[in-house]
Amino acid sequence: MQLGARKPRTTARILLTLIVVLVIGVGLWLALRQGPPPTVELTTDRPAVGTATTVIARFAEPAGGLGAVRLELVQGGRTEVLAERRFDRPLPLPWRRGAGEPEAVLEAVVGSSAQGWLAEGELVLRAVADRSTGPLRSAAPMVAELALAVRLRPPGLELVSSQHYARQGGAGAVVYRVGDTAVRSGVQAGEHVSVGAPSPGGGPGDRFVIYALPWDLGEGSSVRLFAEDDAGNRTERPFLDLFRPRPPGADTIELTDAFLSKVVPAIAANTPGFDGSRPLLEQYLEINGPLRRAELARVAGLAASSEPAFRWSGPFLQLANSARMAGFAEVRSYRYDGREVDRQTHLGLDLASTARAPVPAPSSGRVVLAGWMTLYGNAVVIDHGYGLMSLSGHLSSIAVSEGEEVERGQIIGSSGATGLAGGDHLHLEIFVHGQPVDPVEWLDGAWIANNITSKLEGAR
């Protein structure tokens, strides 16, 4: 009986011991624990630092949550804290999992615009996230570092060719020399950029560019030669000796129901996804406006792949025995039922000969597009190199295919009236780095010699 009376006390003691051991165990675990390491990632919008480079540090620790995170800049023994944040971590108990801050982003700008003390050379960006530990444990924080070059001087830029006379809506060429840090250079004319390429037969810094002056560029003061490095430093200098304005021509086109019913259904049938069930005028306005811009953007998109080489020589060819019907940069007012319904600028040259006349490749090059181009109808786009391309449109048939090399004068198709054409004619459009320019300049051998090829000869 005595033994039986002692039993509950012994059980209680064992239980108490177990509880004490458990509490000490949990306490020791909490005091000595080390949570999982947070991930730290550093990225920048440029590969080097100049006036302003944006730095983004991303931190993540979904299980235990983030504590303190920091973004620093280090150069020459000096450290500047660019940004920091501190989050409260919950106790690492099973039912508190995921209750902390799972991720954080710190963003800052580095460069001479933000840190006037920066020197040329190198700097280190450092992102730091502390680790979750108990009070009796210490763990090194997680660190990501990124070393970047600091360049504060913009690249050198020197003009080599001379006598640059260009016309609004026209083209020209420049030979220039850039410093060894330049990664991109060329001519900026308003919003349009013509990107330069290594100059044929030149030294490592010699560049050559055929540039466009957009037809709607009002004056020449914004036209600049530029050179940029990978840190965003940019040098600009004017180079035009003369900018000749070119007042736009004007024309009025009367839209008749007979014309609309002749051209619109054929275009609708050839254009995938086009809703041909609407009133003809509504369809016409979509073709003449948004679809015109879409086709121009398509050719502009091809410009970047233009080969930096002379694929052409001599004057461009005009359709044999043809008359020039409509010129470049004519502002057309479209009238229907006695009122203006649209206004667009004609950016090519219209040439009329006999129906289904053989159409020559304006110069040699590679066919980069051969097929249906909405308002241009059946069209062929040829890359002549250095950003120079030609488009021959409204063809009744096409005799070449994409990727084909063509010779100057080789027959690429027959003239026609496909797309937005009232009658059989050839629409010839010339692009320089995606910008339509006046084709008449390129049909003129003397103009090419004076404004394009002589720039290279003078530079050698």
Rounded Cα distance between 270 and 330, Å, is: 27
Query: From the CB of 346, what's the least distance to Zn ion, in Å?
Result: 6
> Tokens 């360049």 identify what position?
151
Site for Zn ion in 330-349 (CB under 5 A): 348
Query: From the CB of 423, what's the least distance to Zn ion, in Å?
Result: 11
439 belongs to the binding site for Zn ion (CB under 5 A):
no
Site string for Zn ion, 20-39 (x = CB under 5 A): --------------------
Beta carbons of 225 and 157 less than 8 angstroms apart: yes
Of 283 and 415, which CB lies nearer to Zn ion in the complex structure? 415
Site string for Zn ion, 385-424 (x = CB under 5 A): ----------------------------------------
Residue in 349, 328, 315 with CA at minimum distance from that of residue 446: 315
Rounded Cα distance between 150 and 120, Å, is: 5
Of 295 and 350, which CB lies nearer to Zn ion in the complex structure? 350
Query: From the CB of 401, what's the least distance to Zn ion, in Å?
Result: 24
Rounded Cα distance between 111 and 319, Å, is: 56
377 belongs to the binding site for Zn ion (CB under 5 A):
no
Please give the backbone phi and psi of residue 33, each rounded to the nearest 5 degrees, phi first: -70, 160
The two three-digit tokens of residue 23, written as one number = 């509490």
Torsion of CA 230, 164, 173, 393, to 10 degrees: 120
Query: From the CB of 103, what's the least distance to Zn ion, in Å?
Result: 56
The two three-digit tokens of residue 238, written as one number = 């004017």
292 belongs to the binding site for Zn ion (CB under 5 A):
no
Of 181 and 414, which CB lies nearer to Zn ion in the complex structure? 414
Query: From the CB of 417, what's the least distance to Zn ion, in Å?
Result: 11
Query: From the CB of 279, what's the least distance to Zn ion, in Å?
Result: 25
Rounded Cα distance between 121 and 151, Å, is: 7
427 belongs to the binding site for Zn ion (CB under 5 A):
yes
Of 172 and 393, which CB lies nearer to Zn ion in the complex structure? 393
Q: Considering CB under 5 A, how many residues would be counted as binding Zn ion? A: 3
- Among left, alpha and beta (phi > 0; psi -120 to 50; other), residue 236 is beta
Q: Is the dihedral angle over the CA atoms 412, 413, 419, 424 positive or is it negative?
A: positive
Of 233 and 322, which CB lies nearer to Zn ion in the complex structure? 322
> Tokens 């100057």 identify what position?
408
Query: From the CB of 365, what's the least distance to Zn ion, in Å?
Result: 21
362 belongs to the binding site for Zn ion (CB under 5 A):
no
Burial class (CB in 10 A: 0-12, 13-18, 19+), 17: exposed
Query: From the CB of 394, what's the least distance to Zn ion, in Å?
Result: 7
Residues whose CB falls within 8 Å of the CB of residue 288, separated by 6 or more in sequence, listed in order: 334, 342, 344, 375, 420
350 belongs to the binding site for Zn ion (CB under 5 A):
yes
Of 5 and 250, which CB lies nearer to Zn ion in the complex structure? 250
Q: Where are the beta strands (DSSP E) in 179-322?
A: 182-189, 192-195, 197-198, 206-212, 224-229, 234-237, 242-244, 249-254
Residue in 384, 377, 385 with CA at minimum distance from that of residue 361: 384
Residue of closest CB approach to Zn ion: 427
Of 365 and 393, which CB lies nearer to Zn ion in the complex structure? 393
229 belongs to the binding site for Zn ion (CB under 5 A):
no
Of 285 and 349, which CB lies nearer to Zn ion in the complex structure? 349
Of 229 and 350, which CB lies nearer to Zn ion in the complex structure? 350
Of 234 and 427, which CB lies nearer to Zn ion in the complex structure? 427
Site string for Zn ion, 246-285 (x = CB under 5 A): ----------------------------------------
Residues at the site binding Zn ion, with contacts judged by CB under 5 A: 348, 350, 427
